[in-house]
Structures are given as C-alpha cells and as structure tokens.
Amino acid sequence: MSEIQNKINKLIENRETARMGGGEKAIAKQHEKGKFTARERIQMLLDEGSFEEFDMFVTHRCYDFGMEKKHTFGDGVVTGYGTIDGRLVYVFAQDFTVTAGSLSLALADKICKVMDMAMRAGAPCIGLNDSGGARIQEGVNALAGYANIFQRNVMASGVIPQISAIFGPCAGGAVYSPALTDFIIMKKNTSNMFLTGPKVVKTVTGEDVTQEQLGGAIVHTTKSGVAQFAVDTEEEGISLIRQLISYMPQNNMEDAPLAMCTDSIARLEDSLNEIIPDNPNQAYDMYEVIKAVVDNGEYLESAASYAKNIITCFARFNGQSVGIIANQPKFMAGVLDINASRKAARFVRFCDAFNIPIVTLVDVPGFLPGTTQEYGGVITHGAKLLFAYCEATVPKVTVTLRKAYGGAYIVMSSKHIRGDINYAWPSAEIAVMGASGAVEVLYAKQLAAFTDAEEKAKFIAEKEQEYKDLFSNPYNAARYGYIDDVIEPRNTRFRIIRALQSLATKRLQNPAKKHSNIPL
C-alpha cells in the first residue's frame, strides 16, 4: 500500500472517530435520555446530503487539571452549512457526548467562525444548544469564548435571522446567546434555561425548586416570555425551525421568498360579517378572523402561550410572507398590558428588520389599569410597542374590527404613526374611551346633581346612546381621513392583499442616526 493511500486511510479513520463524538457509550447514554446527538439533529434539520462540515479536527488547547490527556476531535460542537428547502443556512450543534458539550475557547472559536461566515454570506444562523455550560478547567478563556459569541450575536441581530433550539441544559452565561437571537425553541422536560441553578437558588434564597420549575420550557413560554416555542419532541422542534425559516428572507437586504398561492385572492368569507357580537362586551375568537383571511387558513404563531391577549404570527397573503399582530378579545378582552406590549414590540421589530410587511388586526379597549401594571412600568413597556410601530418602515396595513380606544388606538399601527393603509369594519368604535366612562367624565356635574336614581339612570342611558351614535362607528375617523376606507368584513382578505400589492414598492427611510434609544 502506498504512503498516500495510508494517509487517505488515516483521514477516513480520523473522520470516523470525529463523527463518533464522545464514543458509543456516551452516544447510548444520550439516546437513553431521549435525546439525539448533534449530528443526528443536523441531519434532520438540513436537506439530505447538503451538510458541509467545518473544523472537524479542532481540539481544545487546555493543559490544566489533566485536560492534556483528553482530546476529542471537534471538541464538543459540530459546525458547518447546508440547505433548508434549497436555501443556504449555517448551523452549529453542541455535542453533549463530548465533555457534556461544555464550552472551551476552541469550541467557541468554531461557533464564532460559522457565525462570521453566515454574516458574510448573508444567510440565517441556527444554533442547537445542549451544553453543560462553561468548561471550568479553562477558567477565563471559557468566559472569553462566551463573550466572543455574544458579540457576534449582537452584530448579526437585524442582519441575518438567528434561531436557537434548546434541546438540553443551557445554564449560566450560556443563556445569553439564545436570548440575543430572534427565536428560541425549547423541548419540554429535557431542556432548561436559567442563570443560576437550583442549588445556588436554595443557598441564596432558601427556595426549593427543580430545574424544570426554575427554567423549563413551560416556564419560559408561559411565565417569562424568554422562549417563543415549546415542543414535545426534538423532531417537532426541528420541523418548526424549517417552517419558521420559510417565512423569513435570507438577510435584511432581501425579501422573504414568495410561496405558491392556491387560495383565491378574491375569496369571500361570509362568516366574518357575523363574527362581531351585538353586545360590545361579548368576546369572539380572533383566531377565526386570522384563519378566514390568510392563505389556506395557515399561520405560524410565535409565543402562543405567553400574553395571550395579543396574537403574533407569521402567515401569507397571496403567497407573500407577513407578520400579523392582533388583539385577542377572547383573553382579557384583548387589553394591552406589560407582557402583551413587550411580546408585540419584539415581533414588530423583527418583521421590520427583515422586510416582512405587518398586518395589524385591532380590537383593543385600552391598557390594563392597576397598581401592578403601573408599578411594573406599563408606561415604558407600552412605549416599546408604540416605538416599534413608529420606527417600522415596512408596509403596514391595519384593520380595526371593533374597539380602538384611547392610547391603545394610537399604539396599534394607527394612521398617525405611519400606518400606510388603515381599514375599518362597520362595527369599529374609535374613541378616547367607551361610552359609560365618557359619560361619567363629560357629565360629572350633572350626574352629581341627580337625587332620583331612576332619572339619573335614564339620563346616563340617553347620553351613552348619544356618545355611541357619534363614536360607535368608524365614520367619524373616516371623516378626517384617519381611516382610508370602511370595508365589508367578508372582503377583508381581498382588501388586505390589494393593499399589500400597492405597497410592494414602498420606500421610507428614517433619519440618519447612530441608533435609536428605545425605551427599555
């Protein structure tokens, strides 16, 4: 056998060794936990045969605490690029079978390299996280590795889409990289995210808490809002990443890909003419409206279990990717509060960063009152949503279905904050407040003078009706041009699509600045 053939055989052997990660026992242990290996995850994520790996033979550079005897090809992360539905993406997957996927400087360098390449190529970067945290043996070098990744997350923000999937532990400083990305997917029961673990919590605060209670998928998708998606299986999570990517452009200089539309543009949805109840205080389901107007009734909701009073989702109109923000009257009457404002503001800013038009469906009675909200800074958080809409330069189409009261009317992509095309249904009520509250303010002196309860009630009823006649319809706002047209509900799909078509060539630039100072 020639020397060259020997070297080729050695290469093949080394590749096989690298692909085995931490070895058969470690892989078996990973499978016993119901977890896939890093390579298995990448294989599921990318189009078959498209993965091109980098840095397969990198090893760590630590010689303390006996680490000089423990070198593994790849050093705990698999990196490279491939395609999803034929579109280029870059990916890194932490390998828990190698030193529990702990982060060394060499491992961080591999991740940084692939992120740099994604930026240069203008392609999404996907991180599959499953790591025990910093490699303690490397000391400050491990911290430097994290910091290098965080810096790249920030530089890539708004330039290329960044998606994180948490398929195992993600603790301490490691949580900040996913937190800096656009969307986080967590697997129930096996993934967790927290800055300090249960033992530290017990020592410092005395609380007894499990990892799942402290930072599990349900916690972060219902209570904290840190993650947007919780999935039952890794397969579901990976399928979700592929679906998410389909709504996004490759980078901030491109538009999202157009999908083939098999749904008629002019489809009428008669059910929408009947969906608004006669009683203004009665709820209906905004999901029914969304399903009725988008292509084939299909949408992908983000943060579905968090701040349910507002809906944020991706959908398509005539094959065009859009972001939908919609108040949900079925939950807390669709009122805006701290969590809803934060959730929606983040979604608006993502859509604006990546040239995805925004469709806003409005039915909002105002902001949630009370000391809990005021002490929690609802003013600042509400201002985030206002700021996001004001700053957005993408096409913005707004449809007011029913209530649009007070500051919440302004915030929800009104004409005054550069809403491009603003429609209203005949059931729309655009006013400073509801009739009962308005009468109390407008006629406070007269009401105080009444001694007869029956006469007072009659007076209130008359004045409320006067107020309703004036504001419980969209024509007062339309008179000033704040509403571009009052539309028949069943025509909503057609009118939105036509509006988006007319805005396809929209050009709007904000003043030159280093960056804005969004209220945080």
Would you call 408 a catalytic residue per the annotation? yes
Beta-sheet strands, E only, within 318-448: 320-327, 358-364, 396-405, 421-424, 429-431
C-beta of residue 292 within 8 angstroms of C-beta of residue 269: yes
Would you call 172 a catalytic residue per the annotation? yes
* Angle of CA points 250, 253, 259, to nearest 5°: 50
Q: How many whole angstroms separate alpha carbon 104 and alpha carbon 55? A: 14
C-beta of residue 351 within 8 angstroms of C-beta of residue 248: no
Q: Which of the following is catalytic: 408, 424, 431, 478? A: 408
Q: How many whole angstroms separate alpha carbon 237 and alpha carbon 129? A: 12
Q: Which of 392, 269, 409 is nearest to 334 (CA)?
A: 409
Q: How many whole angstroms separate alpha carbon 276 and alpha carbon 45? A: 42
The DSSP call for residue 160 is S
Q: Which residues of 436-457 are buried (b: 16+ CB within 10 A; e: fewer)?
A: ebbbeeebeeeeeeeeeeeeee
Would you call 216 a catalytic residue per the annotation? no
Q: How many whole angstroms separate alpha carbon 77 and alpha carbon 56? A: 9
Torsion of CA 279, 280, 286, 289, to 10 degrees: 70
Residues 6+ apart with CB under 8 A from 314: 244, 247, 299, 300, 302, 321, 322, 323, 324, 356
Q: What is the CA radius of gyration of the chain?
A: 27
Show contacts of 5-14: CB within 8 Å, 24+ apart: 14/57, 14/73
Question: Which of left, alpha, beta for 193 (phi over 0: left; psi -120 to 50: alpha)?
Answer: beta
Would you call 173 a catalytic residue per the annotation? yes
Q: How many whole angstroms separate alpha carbon 44 and alpha carbon 366? A: 45
C-beta of residue 225 within 8 angstroms of C-beta of residue 308: no
Q: Which of the following is catalytic: 197, 376, 407, 437? A: 407
Q: Which of the following is catalytic: 127, 172, 216, 237? A: 172
What are phi and psi for residue 513, nearest 5 degrees? -160, 160
Q: Which of the following is catalytic: 122, 173, 225, 376? A: 173
Please report which residue ranges of 229-353 form alpha helices under DSSP H. Answer: 234-246, 286-293, 338-353
Single-letter amino acid, residue 321:
S
> Hey, is 299 helix, strand or coil?
strand
Structure tokens at 249: 């452009």
C-beta of residue 54 within 8 angstroms of C-beta of residue 18: no
Structure tokens at 165: 């999937």
Through-space distance between the first and last CA atoms of the chain, rounded to whole angstroms: 67
Catalytic positions = 172-173, 407-408
